Chains A and B, each alone.
Chain A
Amino acid sequence: MENERVNYGPLHGLWAVTNRELKKWYKEPFIFIISLVQPIIWIGLFGKAMNLGAIFSAGSLNIPGLNIPKQVIDGISQEVLKSTFGTTDYFSFLAVGMLSFIVLFSAMSSGMTIVWDRRLGFLNKMLTTPLPRGNVIMGKVLSSVIKALVQAVIVLLIAILLGLTFSAQLTIMSIVITFFALFLLAMGLSSLFIMLAIRSTRWETQMAIMNLLNLPLLFASNAFYPVKLMPSWLKPVVMINPLTYANNVARAMLIGVTPTASVAFSVIYLLGFAVIFSFIGIFLSWKYISS
């Protein structure tokens, strides 16, 4: 043992923890597919079935007694959509919003794994090895981030198949910046949900927390609807919600919607969110992970 090449560096075992979680995921195609079904259904339901653009273009809109020419109605519809969503294509608006949605749902379940690890004794097993405490948490965060980004890529590809139209100015950089923003969002959210689970031994508690937070986080963001049309009491909440900033970046970069907050500010905001929450996560894991 003494004269062995053993790596006790601060990052040792990090990839092992990460890869353990990933294996469970990619070796179970069923779970993998199920996790993709939800955003696809949402894209289909909200983007296609509830296509707001169709309200005007379905042809039935008219005012009795006034013979408004079709061009006028079409013109109005284009302007209404443009001033509301920043684009005439609601489907694309929503499909891009789905990227942060899938990141949120993926990150949310990351807390569950730590509850099970604690319950089944695996956590204690890890804690009796020289594995650095922070890596227990960071490995889980990292695996959750990777899962979230892979799912985001797939959702984007499906959206393209369903008719997402990119902005004319799309470059490789726009995609890189979008995924960087999603990476930061995933990092912060995963840390947050793992933090909430760090002392918990009951998966019921964790489920309750997830259910409490998922839809409010989603609807109190600009994922479905633009901020400027929201009631004033809701606006501050939406402007704190990191999902809003990820959507800002993704929409500006991919479909050319002028964002409410600048892309640079949004990325910095997300960076702060990710850094602060992962540091709190590591700090708490050193302090509270042992029973």
Chain B
Amino acid sequence: MFSDAELQVFLDELDEKIQVINDNLLILERDPSDANALHEIFRAAHTIKGSAGVMGYEHMASLTHEMENLFDRLRQGTMRLTTEMTDVLFSALDTLKELRDEVTGEGGGADTAPIIDKLRAFLAGEDAFVPQAAAPAVFLALTEAEQEVIQAAAARGINAYHVRVLIDPQCQMKSVRAFLVFNNMERFGEIIKSVPPAEQLQEGLYGEGFEVVLLSGEPGEYIRNMLLTIAEVTDAQVTVLRPEQAETVPAAAQTPGAQKEGQTGVQRAHTAKTVRVDVEKMDNLMNLVGELVIERTRLDRFAALLRAHEGVDDLVDTLGEIANHIGQVTNDLQDQIMKARMLPIAQVFNRFPRLVRDLAHRLGKEIDLIIEGRDTELDRNVIEVIGDPLLHVIRNAVDHGIEPPEERVRLGKPRTGRLHIKAFHQENHIVILVEDDGRGMNPAVLRAKAVERGLLSADAAARMTDREALQLIFLPGFSTASTVSDISGRGVGMDVVKSQVEQINGTLEVASSPGQGTRFTIRLPLTLAIIRALMVMVGEQMYAFPLANVVETMQVRVEDIRRVKQTAVIVVRGSVVPLVRLADLFGLEASGADKLYVVLTGSVSGRVGIAVDELVGEQEIVIKSLGGFLGRIPGISGATILGDGRVALIVDLRALTEEITHRSQMEEAVSLAG
């Protein structure tokens, strides 16, 4: 059996290759003559076939084998890509994903037979062509530049070796093996050339072995022995290469990969540029840095204390300097680790071209999808959560937003609709825009629908501005589609999307003009670990209010608080807002001050004022969990450690707002009944 680590390497590679096939199929669909895309696909399919076979996933291997055959025909130009073929290839890709899920235990029982039959049908009875891996034996030809390098090395007493490494034909993962061999050799020398080129070796595209030119001060026998210790290396031949010897090799024997000077070197460097790190390790690192930050604060305070105590002194000054420097280094460290946790949003965006294509096909719509800002980086936790809400917004745009081509033509719009997805950095946030040029939303229709659904009184609806009316789509139980389609009307409303975004301290806004289109704006924090918060005091205790949920703050005199039935309220610019003291909510002692600070928080369903004793200010805080022992405490979402080492609780404003709104509605109902 294979170890978990090996399996993971296989799965990662598989995911990557599936994505490559997916992306390039989309390119081919637009331009079937794109030779580069075809080549990429062919190589990806070939790699999957190879490693799936080795790992014993025969269904996967045979499916990719058929795909590869078809791609090969296309590549050779004996066949042309048809729409029908693209569809079949896409569904083959889906089957491949199902097979992948089967490996991880997430799914099961994908049947490859029907899709293989379809693929074979295209090949129209010709004998399947089995492509070979890159030709095994190669002539080693050196360019002039390489000759010079070897001569220069020889001058320093460093030998150039021609190393021929043979790998067991039964080798399980050729790409990994090649990587290991490279790694090993780099420990005692420098590889200046390889045949086949490093790029192909990485993909496992080599026959019985490969050859490299290695510069090393070690004796040849030593190198040979080192290589033989690597598992699955069946033989290693190491011969000293003299520049004049290599010169006799005719230039015509050069392989295409060896023609560009220094190419292999550059690509080898590329392989070594990234490492895969377990997420848990990153999280641990982050925690450790958190602790370091806290200790640094203590050190600062101690230095200040000592200064106050001992007066100006060289030793005290030195301590202060050290504290300062540690502070800087810690800040940088924190920054770097945060960055290391970031992933490009491409991870999420890459699913969309295929999704939009499929949806558009199914709905008979024509859509141009424009994606910008794939490289925008986000914390991996945010990336994990944002996929679903974003998917939903996009489905909505395709399903309800963009009109069918005929309707668009009738309206004098371009036949093909435009869906624009864009991610960019703005201050401390990442903004994702999803914009369509479809039919937009009509505030009048939204109002009518809300009244019809009993979500709003006709009176209240009439008073709403158009902007406010648009927000109605975020109410639970509101769906604008008159018919429930299987694409976006599956009971998941925009309210769920909004709350998903808010759960990670993001915001979701909508703007729309009828006939011209709709724009959703999702604003996300760069990381989930650190948020900006408004620090408030109640009694002796400090609490953190996440700024994402704070609408505004104000000062209120006790005599301005009014009562409507049972509920305390204040009037903010003409509208009545329920007011609750945090002390009352949390069962704390209330202060007797005649002035209160009120934090307005709220959502579409209503604004709520939460009164506290004092506003301390805004601050960045590191979110920590209260842990499993306390479980979920309603109204408190976590804790943070303050500069002086004390703990401040983070208030779950969303939950409290809902609680208060709910409570005042109940009271209203009770008083009406009474």
Do the two chains belong together in a single complex?
A: no
A residues lining the B interface (CB < 8 Å) = none
B residues lining the A interface (CB < 8 Å) = none
